[in-house]
Amino acid sequence: MTFTTRPTLEGSFGMVSSTHWIASQSAMRILELGGNAFDAAVAAGFVLHVVEPHLNGPGGEVPAIVAGADDPTPRVLCGQGPAPAGATIGHYRSEGFDLVPGSGPLAATVPGAVDAWLLLLRDMGTRPLEEVLEPAIGYARHGHPLLERVVSTVETVRELFEGDWTTSADLWLRGGEAPRAGALFTNTAYADTLQRLVDEGRAAGGTREQQIDAARRAWSEGFVAEAVDAFFRKPFRDSSGERHRGLVTAEDMARFSATWEEPATVEWQGHTVAKTGPWGQGPALLQTLRLLEALGDPAALDPSTAPGIHAIAESLKLAFADREAWYGDGEVPLADLLSTQYAAERALLVADRAATVLRPGSPGGRRPRLPAYLTRGSDGSVMPRDATTGEPTVARSGVTRGDTCHVDVVDRWGNMISATPSGGWLQSSPTIPELGFPLGSRMQMFWLEDGLPSSLAPGKRPRTTLTPTLVMRDGRPVLACGSPGGDQQDQWQLLFLLRHLVQGQPLQEAIDAPTWHTTSFPASFYPRESEPGVIVAEDRIGADVGAQLERLGHTVRAVDPWSLGRMCAVTRDPDSGVLRAGANPRGMQGYAVGR
C-alpha cells in the first residue's frame, strides 16, 4: 500500500472536499440535516467567504458544474459578473492605462458569486435559505480561528490600508494592529448583510423559491447595490499608484443575473470530461487531452517521467497559446478547437526539444491574432506591482502564485457539484463598510485593444482562469474535482486526471503525487508575465528527471516539495453507490469529510 498524507475517504452517505476544513464540515452538516449536494455546496461557498477572505469573497465570482441524480446531464452555473456599462477601452486609455489595473475599484466587474450561489439553491437545492446561510452568519458574527495566511496578507497591505483604504483598515487593523493568527475573528458587517438577505427573503413570504428570489433582489436591486454604487463613486488608490473611481453602479448590479449554460465536453479514455465554455480557461484542459490522445504514445500520459512531462508540457503550451488567441466571451470556434482533426495537426508541433515561443493555431483555417501587448515586446520599463496585484497565493515558494478556493460535493442520491469560488479578495479593493466586503479585480483579464476575443467591452465577461471539472461515465457523474491556482488550475487538474483515470491511482495518492506546471505562456493576471521554456516543479520529481528535462531544453525551477496545487476531489461509483473523497495537504487548509 502506498503511503499517503491522509486516507482516501470512503462511504455511502455523502462526501465533501474543500480548501478549508470549516467549509467542508459546514457542508457536511447540511447533508446531515437532509440537504442534497447543492444545498451543502451553497453553505460551503458562503462559509468560504468568511474563513478564506484573502482568497475569495461575496464581491467575487463562482463558476460551477453540476449533475443531478434525476437529470445527470452536466450543466454549468455561471456566476462570473461582466464588465460594467462604463468599462470601455476608451475610458481606461484616457486614464493612461495599457493594462487594466490589477487592483482597486477600476478592476472590479459586477459581483457574481452571491447571485450564483442563490440561483443554485433555488433551482437545485431543497433547504431554506436561513438554514443554509446559518453557518456563515454564525462564523462571521461570533468568530472563527483566523488563518495565519490571512494575517500575513493583511501585513503586506498595511501601508495601503492605513494610507488610503481606511475602511479596510477599520476591519483588518483594529486599533492599528493586525489580527492574531488562531484568534477568533469576527466580521459583523458581513453577518448583518447575510442576515438581512435572510430577513428580506422571509418578509417576502411565499415558497422557498420565492423567498430566495427576494433575497436575490435585495442583493442586486436593494441595499447591497445601493451601498456598492455609493461607495465606488469615491476615488481610491489602485495598483497604478494613483487614485481612481470605480465603474460598477446599481444599474449594473440590477442588470446582472447568474445563468445556466451548456458545458464544453470531450470524450476521453472512456469518460466525458465537462468544463465551462471559453469565457473560462476550461477548454484548454480539453484541448490538452485531445493533443495527448493524438500523440498516440502511452508514455506521454505519465506525468512522473521526463518523456511524459515533456510531452504534457509541450501539449499544454499549444493549448494555452490557443487560449490566448481564441478564448473569450463571444464567438469562439470551439468545435474546431476541440476536434480530433485539429488536435492531430497541432500534435505534429510537439518536438523533441522544448518550445520557447507562443504558437497559436488556425482552427478551421482562421488566422490567429495575439494582443499587441504580447507581440511588440517590452520597452524595458518595470511595471508597477504590489501585494494587491495578481492572484493571491496560499504559500509562495519559488514562483508559486495563484490561488482561490474550491469545493466538491457528492451525496447519497448521486447529485454532484464542482465549484471554484474566487475574487473579491480582502486585498483586491477597499472594504465597503456597511457590507463588510470589497469588490473583486477580475477585469484585469481583459485586453485594452479592440478586436480580440478577450477585449474589454461593457457587459462582457472576462476570460477567467476559474475552471471546475466534472467527469461522466456512461452518462452518470463519477468525479468532481478542481484546484485553485490561476493559470495553473487546469495544469494541476490534468496531472491528477492522468494519475487517477489512466494510471488508476486512488484519489489521495493522485493528489499527493509530485506536481509541476509550465509558465511558458502569458499569465492571465496583471502584469501578464511569461517565462518561456520554464517548468516549475516540486523537487520530489527527482534530480534525475529534472536533469533529463534540462537536456530536452526546459528550464526547470525546483520549488519546495509540498508547494504546488490544492486539489480537491470526490467520486461516486454509479454501480455500487460507494462515495470517495480526497483533499490536498499542501497549505495545511484543505480537508475532505464524509461517511
Asked, for residue 128, whether it belongs to a domain, the answer is: yes
Residues 6+ apart with CB under 8 A from 93: 448
Q: Is 377 a member of any domain?
A: no
Q: Tell me the Ramachandran region of residue 454: left when phi exceeds 0, alpha when psi lies from -120 to 50, beta otherwise.
A: alpha
- Residue of 571, 558, 570, 565 whose CA lies nearest to 584: 565
Residues 55 and 48: their CA atoms lie apart, in Å, by 9
**For residue 554, how many other CB atoms are within 10 A of its CB?**
25
Within a domain: residue 30?
Answer: yes
Residue 23 lies in a domain: yes
pLDDT block averages, 10 residues each, the chain of length 595 = 94 98 98 98 98 97 98 98 98 95 95 98 98 98 97 95 97 96 98 98 97 98 98 93 96 98 97 98 98 97 98 98 97 98 98 97 96 67 49 42 84 98 96 97 95 97 97 98 96 98 98 97 88 97 98 97 96 97 95 98
Q: What is the pLDDT of residue 355?
A: 97
Inter-residue contact 322 to 334 (CB < 8 Å): no
Q: How many distinct structural domains can be found in the chain?
A: 1
Neighbours of 239 (CB within 10 A): 26
37 found inside a domain: yes
* Residue 184 Cα to chain centre, angstroms: 27
Query: What is the C-alpha to C-alpha distance for residues 400 and 267, in angstroms, rounded to an integer?
Result: 32
Q: Do the domain assignments include residue 87?
A: yes
> What distances in angstroms separate CA 475 from CA 64, 269, 277, 482, 553, one per listed residue?
19, 14, 20, 20, 42
Name the 3-class secondary structure at 269. Answer: coil
Strands 62-67 and 9-11: unpaired
Of 14, 190, 59, 105, nearest to 580 by C-alpha is 14
Q: Taking CA 420 as the corner, what is the angle to CA 416 and CA 422, rounded to the nearest 5 degrees?
A: 155
Q: What is the pLDDT of residue 325?
A: 97
pLDDT of residue 525: 87
**Residue 148 dihedral angles phi and psi, to the nearest 5°:** -60, -35
Residue 408 neighbours by CB under 8 Å, 6+ apart: 15, 16, 17, 18, 416, 417, 418, 419, 480, 481, 482, 568, 569, 570, 581
pLDDT of the residue at 80: 98
CA Rg value for the chain: 22
Q: Which domain holds residue 234?
A: 9-59+82-256+424-445
Residue pair 129/208 in contact by the 8 Å Cβ criterion: yes
CB 472 within 8 A of CB 72: yes
Q: What are the CB-based long-range contacts (under 8 Å, 24+) for 153-162?
A: 153/54, 153/387, 153/392, 153/426, 153/427, 154/178, 154/179, 154/426, 156/387, 156/427, 157/387, 157/388, 157/427, 160/237, 160/386, 160/387, 160/388
User: Which three three-digit cell numbers place residue 10?
Assistant: 470512503
- The CA distance from 320 to 178, in Å, is 39
Query: Cα separation of 193 and 219, whole Å?
Result: 9
Specify if 374 maps to a domain: no
Nearest to 543 by CA among 561, 519, 563: 561
User: What CA–CA distance (Å, rounded) separates 414 from 579?
Assistant: 9
Q: Give yes or no for a contact between 44 and 27, defined as CB atoms under 8 angstroms apart.
A: yes
Q: Which residue, 112, 126, 141, is CA-closest to 47?
A: 141
In a domain, 189, yes or no: yes
In angstroms, the first-to-last Cα distance of the chain is 22
Closest CA to 66 of 405, 407, 487: 407
Kindly state the cell numbers that stand for 186.
Answer: 469576527
Asked, as a colleague might, if the bond just before 430 is cis with ω within 30 of 0, I would say: no
